[in-house]
Chain A
Amino acid sequence: MDTSSPAALVNAEILRMFLGRRVRTVVQVQRIEGGMVFGQSTDGRPLTIKSAMDIPVSHFMEVYGIAENDQTIRAEVCTDFGPNFDAKAFDGLCKLASDKFKHLFL
């Protein structure tokens, strides 16, 4: 058992609190250019994912990675969550998991 490198559940807003650390988020893919995925966070802001895998535009993509800056994540693992994902519920979860219930996650 190992909880040494947890990934914080974040949206774009919360990403700023975890710069340089492992995070986990979901973005809706808008365009892909040269291995970079430009997407929209669950709270409606632009996020850039480096070294992401190819995922169809408009699909939701989950990203585990390192928060490079407040708009960029360097991906370690990506998962295609498909075109139907409840971004709003995930966004709500991010808020709970980084605030009041942080102790359950980090």
Chain B
Amino acid sequence: MYGGGGHYDGGGGAANANSLFGGGGFMPSQSTAVPESSGGGGGGGLSKGRNAQTLLPLTVKQIMDAAQASDDKSNFAINGVEVSTVRLVGRMLGKIERVTDVAFTLDDGTGKIDVNRWENESSDTKEMADVNDGNYVIVNGGLKGFQGKRHVVAYSVRRVTNFNDITHHFLHCIHVHLELTRSKPRLPPQINSSTATPAHANQVQLPNNQATAFPASGNTAENDVSSLIMNVFHDPAIIDREDGITEAYVIDRLKLPVDLVRKVFQEHIDAGNIYNTIDDLHFKSALNG
């Protein structure tokens, strides 16, 4: 990653860029970034607050595909992360200089988007005089939505002088996309690939407080079985079932010894993690219900 933006500076923008983006890399913080669950609802689970300020390298296509966060019309979500500050790299087209601002269209090869740059200070004017139609530019700015149309209000517009920056930008887009979409298993990797269906891999991850609610007794193998069984209960296909599931179902699905499953089941019952529903045989999780 770059520090302080020095790598990208194509001239006059150096001081400006450093004051805006100085101090460390631009990779969005991972701690609160919520990956979009494969089957999950669109607007839910956005990371909020400070992370929205994180600069995200994007293609115009990604911006076009971004979901508009429902509550606040000016916010967007990409990969489940709220986006407001973006970096785009493309060709400047249709530059129009006005008294207080410069408007142009940015074409990055994946699409075109309108960009505005307000000229508050002489340094802004100088920076915008340096770039013209046909030039490749690096735009850092805020992503705005107005009446369904998306545009960028640029904080900085710098001419590309090293054309490897274009390749780099797109690779950076891919890298950040990967970082944000990669599933981050929080539970120990105990899911046995031979028993786990592909759906298991994408399954809802238990928040930590629930994971620690499991009985701590028994050896590691039993704890693994314990989590495996609770994972079955928390399968999105099962969690909404009114009457829950039976021990036999779990045994069949996990292909585990009856004795072991029965023992762990009893532990979960004793701990209050699962409870009886329509009869003595059916159980439902108390943790996510």
Contact = CB atoms under 8 A, between A and B. Distances in A.
Interface stretch (B110-118, B208-216, B221-229): B110-118
Contacts of A104: 59, 61-62, 110, 173-174, 177
Interface string A36-60: 0000000000000000000000001
Contact of A89 (B134, B149, B150, B164): B164
Nearest to B64: A3
A33 interface: no
Contacts, number: 73
Interface string B169-194: 01101100100000000000000000
Given A9-B170, A97-B170, A105-B61, A3 B110 contact: yes
Interface residues of A, number: 28
B127 to A, nearest CB: 21
Contacts of A3: 60-61, 64, 110-112
B11 interface: no
Interface stretch (A11-19, A67-75, A77-85): A77-85
Interface in B125-151: 134, 136, 149-151
Chain A contact residues, majority secondary structure? mixed
Nearest to B135: A79
Interface in A1-36: 1-4, 6-7, 9, 24
A64 B109 contact: yes
Nearest to B148: A1
B149 A1 contact: yes
Contacts of A82: 163
B169 to A, nearest CB: 10
A47 B112 CA distance: 27
B219 interface: no
A106 B114 CA distance: 19
B61 A24 contact: no
Interface string A84-106: 01100110110011000101111
Contact of B110 (A85, A90, A105): A105
Contacts of A62: 163
A49 B151 CA distance: 34
A26 to B, nearest CB: 8
Nearest to B171: A93
Contacts of B59: 104-105
Contacts of A7: 109-110
Given A7-B109, A81-B163, A90-B167, A1 B173 contact: no
A9 B149 contact: no
B159 to A, nearest CB: 12
Given A6-B109, A79-B136, A101 B177 contact: yes
21 contacts: A1-B112, A1-B113, A3-B110, A3-B111, A3-B112, A6-B61, A7-B109, A9-B170, A77-B91, A79-B163, A81-B163, A85-B164, A89-B171, A90-B167, A93-B167, A101-B177, A103-B61, A104-B61, A104-B110, A104-B174, A105-B61
